[in-house]
Structure 1
Amino acid sequence: MDQITTILDRLLALHPKEIDLSLGRMHRLLAALGNPEKRLPPVIHVAGTNGKGSVTATMRAVLEASGRRCHVYTSPHLVSFNERIRLGTDGKFVSDPLLYDALHRCEEANCGEEITFFEITTAAAFLLFAENPADVLLLEVGLGGRLDATNVIDRPLACVITAISLDHEKFLGEDVAAIAAEKAGIIKWETPVACAEQDDAALRVIARQAARNRADLSVCGQDFAAQEDQGRLVYQDDEELIDLPLPVLNGRYQIANAGLALAALKTAGLLPEPGVIAEGLKSVNWPGRLQPLMHGPIFDLCPPDSEVWVDGGHNPSAGISVAEFMGEQEERAPRPLYLVTGMLTTKDPVGFFRAFEGLVRHVGTVPVSTATTGRTPEELADLARCAGLEATPFPSLDAALADVAACAAKDGEAPRILICGSLYLAGEILARNAMAPT
C-alpha cells in the first residue's frame, strides 16, 4: 500500500460518518493551518446537482486557451485521488509528493480531532492552492453548498449554480426548493451569479438569496442563452452574440453547460475574445460522461462491432439527459441498447431507469466494487423492473458483458452498450481500460 493510500485511509477513519455537513470543524482546522483559504487566487465557486464538472472543465479550457493558469478542485475522482486537485503551475493533477505533504500537514494540524474525509482533504487542497501560483481557482462544491467544506471563502470572484434536481435528499431536503436553498448558500455579498435554467421553485429561492446579498443574477433563458444553430453553438446575452463550434463533450445538454460556463466567465470579467473561446471549446476534456470506448480490455469483452459508452450520471435528471442522447443515437443508427449498471444506495434507481423505458432491450445489474455503499445486483435488478425494464443481476461486469455478447450472437445484431449509473463504476471501467484521466 503506497503512502497516499495509507494516509487517506487514516483520514477516512477520523469521523464515523462519511457525510456530516458543518463548517465548524473546517474553520478550526484552517485556523490551525494559518488560514490558507484567505490566500487563494480569485475564486469561481460552482454548485448545483448536474453539470458542475462539465461547466468547470469548460471554464478551465477557455481560461487556459486565453493564457490564464487555473487551479481546479472537483470531486469525486474516477481513478486516482490526485484527480481532485489540478494545479495551475503546470496544469496537471497534483503530484504524489506535494499531495502527501499537504495531507500530512493537515493530519498533524488536526491532532486526531473528529473531521470528515472531505473536510480534511479540502483543507489540504486549500493549502496547495494557496502555496502555488495561479490566476484563478475553479472551486467545485462537494455536496450542497451552504454547509459544504468549500464554503469558507469570503468573497469569490463569481458564483455558478448549475441545474438543480433531486439528489442527496437525505442531506439537502426532499424537494427542489429545499435543495436550491442549500446550493444558493454559496452566494456572497455583491458577488455576481450565473445560473442555469431552473425549475420555478428552485429559481425563486436562488433569486431571493441573490437579492439578499445584492448579487447580480444572470439566468439562462432570461439573461443569456446558448443553442445549436446549423451545427454551431450560438451564445447570446444582452450585449453580444457569439458564433462558436459545438462542445466536444457528447450530449445535447452540454450546449447549455457550455453557455453557462461562458456566462460565468463573463460575470467574472474573464471571457476572452471569440477566437480564443472557440479554441478552448475544442479542447474541453471531462472523462466518464458519455465517453465512448473504442479499444482496450473492456471493449474487448464486448461483442464484435459493438458501440460502447460509459457515463457516471446517477440521478433521475441525469437519466433523462443520457436517455435523450441514446435516443438520438438510435435515430441516427438503430441498434439494440443494453444497459450494464451499478448504483449506490444513496441514489434513486427507479427515477433513473424510468427515462429508458421503451429504449432499452435489457438491463444487466452489477456490483460497484470500489464503493462501500453499492446496491446489490439483485436489489438493483428489482428496482429496474419497477421502472418497467427487463433486468438480470450478474456477479460482475464481465459476466454482464458476456450475457450481452450471448444475446448479440443469438440475435445477429451488433449492440449499443451503455455502462452507467455511478461515477465509481465509470472509474472502475476507465482504470481497467487503462484510460485514467490526465
Structure 2
Amino acid sequence: MTTSDAILERLMTLHPKVIDLTLDRMHRLLAALGHPERALPPVVHVAGTNGKGSTLAMIRAGLEGAGHRVHAYTSPHLARFHERIRLAGDLISEDALTAALDECEAANGGEPITYFEITTCAALLAMSRTPADYALLEVGLGGRLDATNVTDKALTVVTPVAMDHEAFLGDTLSKIAAEKAGILARRVPAIVGPQQDDALEVIEAQAVRLGAPLQVHGQHWHVREEYGRLAFEDERGLLDLPLPSLVGAHQVQNAGTALAALRTLGTGDPEAAMRADWPARLQRLTRGPLTDLAPHAELRLDGGHNPAAGAALAEALTRLPDRPLHLICGMLRTKDAAGYMAPLARIAASLTAIPIPGEPATLSAQETAEAARRAGLQHVAEAPTVEAAVATLAAEAPAARILICGSLYLAGRVLRENG
C-alpha cells in the first residue's frame, strides 16, 4: 500500500455518507487552505449524464495538441486514484498526491467531509501550485452542488442529460437537467451537447437568467459522420476531420461538443482532439490474463451503466465487424439494470451475470441475471467471477466478441487485474 492509499483510506471515514450534496464543507476547507480554487488557470467545467469523460478527453487532447499545458480532474478512477488528477498533462506523482492529501487532512482538522469533497480540494490545491494554461474539471454528480462547482470559469459544457442518480438529482429529466445546469455561470459561454427537449428547455432558461451565451447542438453547431469522416459546422465554417478514435455515433456527438468548446475558447488542434483515447469506452483488451483465457476472442471493456449508455453502446457495437456478441455484465443496485440491458438484448447472443468484487452495492449474479431476463435476453447464465465467465465463453464460442460491461467499478477492477 502506498502512502497516498493509506491517507485515502482514512479520508473515507470522515463522513458517514458517500454522497451528501452541499458546498458548505468545500467552502470551509478551501478557506482553510488559502483558497487554491482562486489560483487556477482558466477553468472549463464539464457536466452531463453521459459523455463527460470522453468529451473532456477530446478537449484536453485538442488543447495539448496546440501546445497548451492542461490540468484535468476526472472521476472515478479505474485502476488507481492518481488517474483523477493530471497536472500540466502528466498524472500526479505519488509525492505530489501525498503532499496535497496530507495538507488537506491537516487543514480539515477531523471535521465531517465526504471523500469526494476532500479529494477534490486536494486536486485544486495541487493544480494551484503547478503552472498551466487551462484546468478542465469534470463534475462528479449533478453540478449545482457538486464539489467541483467552486471556481470561476472560462467555459461550461453540458453533455447529454439522461435519467441517472434519481435518488440525489430528482425523478424527472427536467429536475436532473436543473442540477446539471447549475454549473452555468453569469456571462460565461456554455456549450450544450445533444439534449432531449425537456432538458434543453431547463438549460436554456438557466442561461437566460445568467446572461450566459449558449452554443447549442442543432442550433449553433452541427456534427455528423459523412463518408467515413467527421463534419463539424458552425458560424465560423466547416471542419472536415477524421472520425474520433473512440468508437460509436455517440462519440461523434461528443467530438462535436469538444470541437464547439475549442472553437469558443479560440484555440486547440481539432485533429489532435479526434485522436483522444479514454479507457473503458468499448476498449479493446489485447493482452493480459483475460486475453490469455480467450486467445481467439475479441475482448472488449465498457463502463457505461445507465439506459442511455446502453443504447449508445448497442449502436456502437453494430458498427463493428460482425461477430457473435456475448456479454459479461456486473452492475450496482443503484442503477436501472434492465433499462441498461434492454438495447443490448436486441444484439447479444448471451449474457453472463457476475457480481462486482469488493463493491457493497453490487447486484448478485442472480439479481443481474433476473434483470437480463426482464430486459429480453434469452440466453442468460451466471458466473462467480469475470475470469470464470471468460473461460466458459472461450470454450463455448472461441471466436466471439466478448464484452465486459455494466459498471465503471467493474471496468476498473478488470483493468487493475488484467495489467
TM-score (ref. length: structure 1): 0.93
Q: 2: CA distance between counterparts of 1:223 and 1:119?
A: 35
The residue type equivalent to 1:46 in the other structure is V
Q: Does residue 249 of structure 2 align to residue 261 of structure 1?
A: no
The residue type equivalent to 1:365 in the other structure is A
The residue type equivalent to 2:370 in the other structure is D
Q: 2: CA distance between counterparts of 1:230 and 1:265?
A: 24
Q: 1:218: how far off? A: 0.9
Deviation per CA, 1:389-438, whole angstroms, max 9, x where unpaired?
132221111111122123226xxxx211110011111112212221xxxx
Deviation per CA, 1:218-262, whole angstroms, max 9, x where unpaired?
111111011111111111012211111111111121111011001
Provide the secondary structure at the position in 1 that maps to 2:7. helix
Q: Does residue 191 of structure 2 align to residue 202 of structure 1?
A: no
**2:291 alignment counterpart:** 299
Q: 2: CA distance between counterparts of 1:338 and 1:315?
A: 19
Q: 2: CA distance between counterparts of 1:372 and 1:124?
A: 26
Q: Is the 8 A contact 2:71 2:135 kept in 1?
A: yes
Q: 1: CA distance between counterparts of 2:287 and 2:6?
A: 33
Deviation per CA, 1:173-211, whole angstroms, max 9, x where unpaired?
111111000000000100000001101000000000000
**2:232 alignment counterpart:** 235
Q: Is the 8 A contact 2:297 2:394 kept in 1?
A: no
Q: 1:367: how far off? A: 1.6
**2:416 alignment counterpart:** 431
Q: 2: CA distance between counterparts of 1:358 and 1:23?
A: 43
Root mean square deviation, CA, Å: 1.1
Q: In the alignment, which of 163, 175, 178 is matched to residue 166 of structure 1?
A: 163
**2:129 alignment counterpart:** 131
- Distance change (3 Å), C-alpha of 1:264 and 1:280: closer
Q: Does residue 371 of structure 2 align to residue 371 of structure 1?
A: no
Q: Is the 8 A contact 2:330 2:355 kept in 1?
A: yes
**1:60-209 paired onto structure 2 within 5 Å:** 60-88=60-88, 91-153=89-151, 155-209=152-206
Q: In the alignment, which of 292, 304, 321 is matched to residue 313 of structure 1?
A: 304
Provide the secondary structure at the position in 1 that maps to 2:15. coil
Q: 2: CA distance between counterparts of 1:267 and 1:371?
A: 41
Q: Is the 8 A contact 2:48 2:142 kept in 1?
A: yes
Equivalent residues, number: 418
Q: Is the 8 A contact 1:192 1:268 kept in 2?
A: no
**2:270 alignment counterpart:** 277
Q: Is the 8 A contact 1:122 1:150 kept in 2?
A: yes
* Identity between Structure 1 and Structure 2 (%): 52
Q: Is the 8 A contact 1:370 1:424 kept in 2?
A: no
**1:399 alignment counterpart:** 388
Q: 2: CA distance between counterparts of 1:394 and 1:261?
A: 39
Deviation per CA, 1:253-277, whole angstroms, max 9, x where unpaired?
111101100101222233x4xxx32
- Distance change (3 Å), C-alpha of 1:359 and 1:280: closer
Q: 2: CA distance between counterparts of 1:105 and 1:328?
A: 48
Provide the secondary structure at the position in 1 that maps to 2:373. helix
The residue type equivalent to 2:83 in the other structure is E
Q: In the alignment, which of 340, 353, 363 is matched to residue 352 of structure 1?
A: 340
Q: 1:379: how far off? A: 0.9
The residue type equivalent to 1:425 in the other structure is L
The residue type equivalent to 1:75 in the other structure is S
TM-score (ref. length: structure 2): 0.98
Provide the secondary structure at the position in 2 that maps to 1:185. helix
**2:244 alignment counterpart:** 247
Provide the secondary structure at the position in 1 that maps to 2:344. coil
Q: 2: CA distance between counterparts of 1:323 and 1:281?
A: 22
The residue type equivalent to 2:327 in the other structure is L
Unaligned runs of 5+ in 2: none
